[in-house]
Amino acid sequence: DAGVTQSPTHLIKTRGQQVTLRCSPKSGHDTVSWYQQALGQGPQFIFQYYEEEERQRGNFPDRFSGHQFPNYSSELNVNALLLGDSALYLCASSLVGGGSGTQYFGPGTRLTVL
């Protein structure tokens, strides 16, 4: 049973560029959430997707956008990159109404903005 997978593992971009990160949820899960984890901090919620729609959003600017596909996989897009966007981006999957809403995390994508 494959867990949550993310690609790429590492990414280096320059200021002003755009980036797309990808996530495949755990088998059987239908909901994907994205988090940003700055160095030495706890993860911060970006947004959550269910049924191909954004259900909930954290305090992040519109430069951060996402998409969920019919197979439940998801993308996180960040436009006009800033130095402060450098972080570990974590994807988590869960099942609507399943259990306690437990979210299972992928290994993350380390984004460095130069």
Partner 1 sequence: GDSVTQMEGPVTLSEEAFLTINCTYTATGYPSLFWYVQYPGEGLQLLLKATKADDKGSNKGFEATYRKETTSFHLEKGSVQVSDSAVYFCALGSNAGGTSYGKLTFGQGTILTVHP
Binding site for partner 1 (CB under 8 A): 4, 31, 33, 35, 40-45, 48, 50, 55-56, 58, 90, 92, 94, 96-98, 100-108
Residue 21 CB neighbour total at 10 angstroms: 21
Least gap, CB of 10 to partner 1 (angstroms): 11
Of 77, 81, 87, the residue nearest 23 (C-alpha)? 77
In the bound state with partner 1, the residue whose beta carbon lies nearer, of 19 and 91, is 91
Distances (CA, A) of 78 to 27, 30, 85, 86: 26, 23, 9, 11
In the bound state with partner 1, the residue whose beta carbon lies nearer, of 19 and 34, is 34
Least gap, CB of 60 to partner 1 (angstroms): 12
